[in-house]
Amino acid sequence: MKAIAVRPAAREVALIEQDEPTIERPTDVLLRMLDVGVCGTDREICAFQYGTPPDGCDHLVIGHESLGEVVEVGPAVSRLRPGDVVVTMVRRPCDHDHCAACRGGRQDFCFTGDFTERGIGKRHGFMTEMVVDDERYMHVVPRSLRDVGILVEPLTIAEKALIQVDQVQDRLPWLATGAPGSRRALVIGAGPVGLLGAMALIARGFDTTVYSREQAPNPKADVVASIGAHYVSATDTTLPQLAERIGRIDLVYEATGASTVAFETMKILGTNGIFVFTGVPGRKAPIEIDTDTIMRNLVLKNQIVFGTVNAGPDAFQAAIRDVGSFAERWPAAVRALITGRYPAEAYRDLLLGPATGIKNVLTF
């Protein structure tokens, strides 16, 4: 069967042939891949800046955003049946007894760093025709979401972030009684993580602004407008002007991976605000940042800054629920997030060519 793989030692990205996997353990499930999303992480792996093949293997099959259909189940599988549509989680736990997170099924908070990730770190991924994994890592998606279920994994980033935002803002119990729109969020970056984050924020009643490089009109700005958020372009509005326009910013959701703009944005975070980092910047030369202003604000304005990666079962469940409700509320905007579906043979342009569109999907 076909698979898309990188060979880091040979600096090669190729469409390869490999054997079909088979069910080996009683709780294994065999999936036929329906859709596999292409994201910035895949493109970084294909630029050899990230990603590690499994031990003893010279290549890594990439792909971690997936939607699959159950073809066969092992004898001890209890939750899934052939025909079910599922999203498979990305991260697998480390082996250490002392890692309370992994032992508790929350490898997204792994302490040791010895976790593995399908399609990213030491485990083959989903850009292939058939996949086997344990049922415990699979979440059923209603068949009615067949066309948009590929958005579940990228949405889990925002869902995990917002679960933590709620936990942090339990410190401000009176906020829960605020009128819709009384909390203001700023999303920086209008890629899939940013746009899905904006949808999740609007759904929770935040008055939401998306700040991005490209000048409007453009397809991303159209999505932002159609969900009732505001699009502001960095080409005509500076961050201080943006701060003036929005007023107090309660939440910044960073979805650019660009550390300079992120730290500049930290300066305009409001009182009692939260700043969430989701991007993974490439390592570039150090830059100067205004640490006195940032530290004064953090202290004098009770601010909280946190980073978040990967996602647990709660975020996957929330993402499945929300993709469904977004698709009902904003059908055209959700469809517009998926720029196109392409056969596996189109991998070169999508992974190595200039980034285009919003979410590109490979089909196998």
Write out the residues near ligand BGC by the rule CB under 6 A.
39, 41, 64, 90-91, 117, 120, 309-310
Using a 10 angstrom Cβ sphere, with 0-12 exposed, 13-18 middle and 19 or more buried, the burial of residue 151 is buried
Compute the least distance from the CB of residue 41 to ligand BGC, in Å.
Answer: 3
Of 68 and 273, the one with the shorter C-beta distance to ligand BGC is 68
Residue 11: CB minimum distance to ligand BGC, A: 20
**Residues 236, 266, 38: CA angle, nearest 5 degrees:** 75
| CB nearer ligand BGC, residue 83 or residue 113 | 113
DSSP assignment of 164-233: HHHHHHTTSGGGGGSPTTSSEEEEE--SHHHHHHHHHHHHTT-EEEEEESSPSSSHHHHHHHHTT-EEEE
Q: Give the span between the Cα atoms of 328 and 345, in whole angstroms.
A: 33
**Residues 22 and 132 sit within 8 Å (Cβ to Cβ):** yes
User: Residue 120 CB, nearest distance to ligand BGC (Å)?
Assistant: 5
- Closest contact distance (angstroms) between CB of 52 and ligand BGC is 10
Closest approach, Cβ 222 to ligand BGC, in A, equals 25
Q: How far apart are CA 151 and CA 196, in angstroms?
A: 8
Rank residues 23 and 309 by Cβ distance to ligand BGC and give the closer one. Answer: 309
Nearest distance, CB of residue 102 and ligand BGC, angstroms: 14
User: Closer CB to ligand BGC, residue 180 or residue 281?
Assistant: 281
C-alpha span between 170 and 166 (Å, rounded): 6
Q: Where are the beta strands (DSSP E) in 206-319?
A: 207-212, 230-233, 251-254, 274-277, 304-307
Strand partners, 138: 88
Q: To 10 degrees, the CA torsion angle through 95, 120, 341, 343? A: -100
Which lies closer to ligand BGC via its Cβ, residue 90 or residue 162? 90
Shortest Å, Cβ 143 to ligand BGC: 24
Distance CA 129, CA 139 (A): 19
Determine the Cα–Cα distance for residues 1 and 11; give it in Å rounded to an integer.
22
Shortest distance (Å) from residue 65 CB to ligand BGC: 7
**Which CB sits closer to ligand BGC, 133 or 250?**
133
Looking at the Cβ atoms of 36 and 90, the one nearer to ligand BGC is: 90
In the complex with ligand BGC, the residue whose CB is nearer, 117 or 207, is 117
For ligand BGC, the closer of residues 65 and 207 by Cβ is: 65
In angstroms, what is the minimal distance from the CB of 293 to ligand BGC? 30
Q: Which amino acid is at 333?
A: A
